[in-house]
Structure 1
Amino acid sequence: MATLSVKPGQRFRLPDWYTSFDLIATNAERQRSASHQIRQEARTLRNETNNQTKWDEHDNRTRLNEMIDSINRWKETLDKCLTDLDVEINALTQMKEEAERALQAKNLPLDVAIENLTLRESRRGIEVVKDPVEDELHKEVEVIDAVKRDLQQKVSEAFEELCLLQEARQQLNLDHRGKMEALEINRTCVSLNVNSPNISYKVNPTRVPPGSITLEQWDQYSQYNKDRAEAEMKAANELREAIALTIAQTNNELEAQRVATEFAFRKRIHEIEQALDELRWQEKNTLEEIAELEEDIRRLEEDLRRKVCNLKLAHTRLETRTYRPNMELCVDQVQPALPLQTRGERRNVPVHEKSAAWQGVRAAELSSVSGVYKDKAMPFPERVCPHLLQLFNFPALEEV
């Protein structure tokens, strides 16, 4: 009888086989269920991450656009502020130059006043008087000096304000350039997408750069620059008005003093002309009196010559009668008459001498009048000063 070979090893029973099959099926189903759960969770996570990514992208893009809008608003504000600042700088510069021209223009009236005072020092004798003209000229010099000090102060204030305006403009310009660069960078960031070239991983992209500030500080910085520029522009505008007012006031003060000085010159020239007319009248009368005096003296001299002859005749008669002889030497009626004639003729001689002395006195008086006339005859400064005043736009003084 033949022998069958049997595979060595453990043999399982049929229930064991069914049990093993059921276990495999159960495990497979459990694995499929776990896989399905994982797949569902993965799909959910993918959807959530996709949605979050899209939302984050949209949110970041919105924030970038809002920041761009904020930067644009500040850029436009700074642009307008810079434009206004440039206009104010130009206006203040022009006003400063106008004040400098006004200050320079005060040199001519000052030179004229000083030249007038110098020319008036050439007067001589009694004409060197401290009259209202001299007082007004000294006052005019003081007014011009005060005017120049006021204008110089305004020029200095304008220079200092221009420096402050330039400093504010430089700060605004720096802020404006920063806004322009930030605007360009943010616009570049907005334009980027997942398909853009040159996008890559960066090292520590979430770091905060040193010197970073908060959004509130950023806004306050630009607001401070704007407020500072506006404050300086307001101060510059007030300074321009003050400079214009100072120029007008100084011109009015100088014009008023010019009118006062001109009036003093006119009055003084009128007084001198009156004095000259009086001196000419006195000279004319004195010359007429001297002519009459000379005629009287000439007649007196002729009478004197005749009286001398008569006196000599009387002396000769008296002397001759002394030679009468003896009893003829008597005091007769002729004897008293001849001495009386002699004494009368002698009295006439001092009268003529006094007339000659009177002539000398009158001649000296004439010489004195002529000397005063020469000294007083329209002093040179009184004729030259009005012409110098005309350089200062004075009306003609020759009409006085």
Structure 2
Amino acid sequence: MAQPDEPHPPVVPSCPLPSKICDVVRSERPRSCCGMAMAGFRTAKYQLPEWHRRNAGVCYQAFSAGEQAERGRAEAKSLVKHAAASAQRAQEYSKATLGQRLQDIHFWRMELQKEIMELDAETNLLAAQKLRLERALDATEVPYAVVVDNLECRERRQPPDLAADEVERQLMKEADLIRDIRDLLKRTIIQAATQIRSNRIQKENCELDWSDKVETYHIDDKCVGYCTDSTNVQFHPSSVKFEENASTPKSWAQFSHDNISRAEQEKLASVQLRSLINSIIHDASEDLRMQRAAVSEAFDTHCRELDDAKLRLEQHLQQILKDIGDEEANIVNLKKAIRDKEAYLKVAHTRLYDRSFRPNVELCRDEPQFRLVNEVEELTVFLEALKRKLMESEQNLKNLEETRMKLEKEIAVKANSIFIDREKCMGNRVRYPVDLEVASYKQ
């Protein structure tokens, strides 16, 4: 027997419930006047089996609804617990994923920052080398002006010293060398400017990538700090989708890797260009120094040759002047000898003339007559010889005078050449820079 306080278990009918609780028994009695008010409600009485069946059905429905509700509550509780655990795990996993992403972003950000600093430092070094090239180019203006001035000055030499000698050949070689060096420096300056521009473009690309990384790091770092207790979280249904232009982790990492790789390439090219600039400036300085020494040696040699030639000409001039004096004295002596011989000839002619007036037989070809005739003939021969010698001496004197004038002209030419080479050219070459490499460092 059941306890009074325990609920009676529902009575489950042994047969299935009919589709309708009961059948309405139509009454033949006329309806009451209030039938219209009770419209929609059953007015016939239930049969007892029907009443039991209906009560059993109501209890069964209540029991089924209770069981379903209980199952729903258990499922809801389990779902809530599972959803909470799943959401917690998903949030923790997302947080861990964001943390890993932050590490990746930090890694590439530091790599980009390192590359930016190194590329900026390398660009500054290359800019300093470019400045050295510009200063070296400016330093070549004075040597080129000196060489051109030397060539122009040497064009004012007088013939026969106006010759294509070794000095001129070395000066032309020096002028060509300076022109080649200037062209090389100009081309290298353009190359350095292009490389600096490439470095800055790649540095700007890395800076843009770095800036994006910094902004993304702050965004993801803020996302890591979000939790269910955060006050600034809200629904954004439209954000649950992938952007069409979104990158993949592989392409994202490859993008930064390519930027760093290109930066490394530009940095390597810049380092190689700086080394090339050092070599160019050093080699150009050495070539100019060696050519300057060659020109100076050619000038020294030529000036010594000019000094020796001028000294020899002066010695010959001294000898010619002495010869001219001797020749003039010789001419004076010859003229005096001719006058003396003419005096003797006059005496002999006068004797012969006076003896031609001897009378009659006294006009005799005696020994004195023959002697006077022989004397006249001898004096005439001597006079002719002396006159010929006088003409030769006068011609020799004329030749000596012409030689003297030529020597004096040659000496003047040599003196002019020495003045041009030693005073004008070599004196002007004192302005020549000592070292192009040193000049490239000067302010």
Return the offset for 1:125.
1.8
Q: Deviations over 1:26-81 (max 9, x none)?
A: 55444433322221111100000111111111111111111111111111011000
Within the candidate set 376, 384, 389, 2:414 is matched to 376
Gaps of 5+ in 2: 1-42, 435-443
Task: State whether residues 95 and 243 of structure 1, in contact with CA within 8 Å, keep that contact through their aligned partners in structure 2.
Answer: yes
The structure with the larger Rg is 2
SS of residue matched to 1:66: helix
Matches within 5 A, 1:145-156: 145-156=179-190
SS at match of 2:401: helix
Q: Percent identity?
A: 26
Q: 1:231: how far off?
A: 0.6
SS in 1 for 2:239: coil
1:175 shift after superposition: 0.7
Question: Is 73-82 or 147-156 further displaced after alignment?
Answer: 147-156
Structure with the larger helix share: 1
Q: Distance in 1 between matches of 2:96 and 2:112?
A: 24
Q: Alignment RMSD, CA only?
A: 2.2
Q: Report the count of equivalent residues.
A: 386
Distance 2:119 2:211 in 1: 16
Asked if the contact 1:92–1:240 (Cα under 8 Å) also holds between the matched residues in 2, the reply is yes
Equivalent in the alignment of 2:320: 286
2:394 is equivalent to residue 356 of structure 1 = yes
Which letter does structure 2 place at the counterpart of 1:339? V
* 2:420 counterpart letter in structure 1: P
Deviations 1:345-384 (A, max 9, x none): 3333423333333322222222222222222225132121
Partner of 2:148: 114
Contact 1:273 1:378 (8 Å CA) reproduced: no
Following the alignment from structure 1 to structure 2, what is the Cα–Cα distance between the partners of residues 265 and 204? 89
Residue 70 of structure 1 aligns with which residue? 104
Listed as ranges, the matches of 1:172-321 within 5 Å are 172-321=206-355
Map 1:317-396 onto structure 2 (within 5 A).
Answer: 317-346=351-380, 347-348=382-383, 349-350=386-387, 351-379=389-417, 380-383=419-422, 384-393=424-433
Structure 1 residue 330, shift from structure 2 partner:
0.7
Residues 167 and 299, structure 2, Cα contact 8 Å, conserved in 1: yes
Q: 2 CA distance for matches of 1:321 and 1:352?
A: 33
Q: Which runs of 5+ in 1 are unaligned?
A: 1-7, 395-400
Give the 3 Å change call, closer, same or farther, for CA 361–334 of structure 1 in structure 2.
Answer: farther
TM-score normalised to structure 1 length: 0.90
Counterparts of 1:393 and 1:31 in 2: how far apart (Å)?
Answer: 111
Q: Partner letter of residue 315 of structure 2?
A: W
Task: Give the TM-score taking structure 2 as reference length.
Answer: 0.82
CA distance 1:197–1:373, change in 2 (3 Å):
same
Q: Which secondary structure does the structure 1 equivalent of 2:142 belong to? A: helix
Aligned residue type for 1:382: D
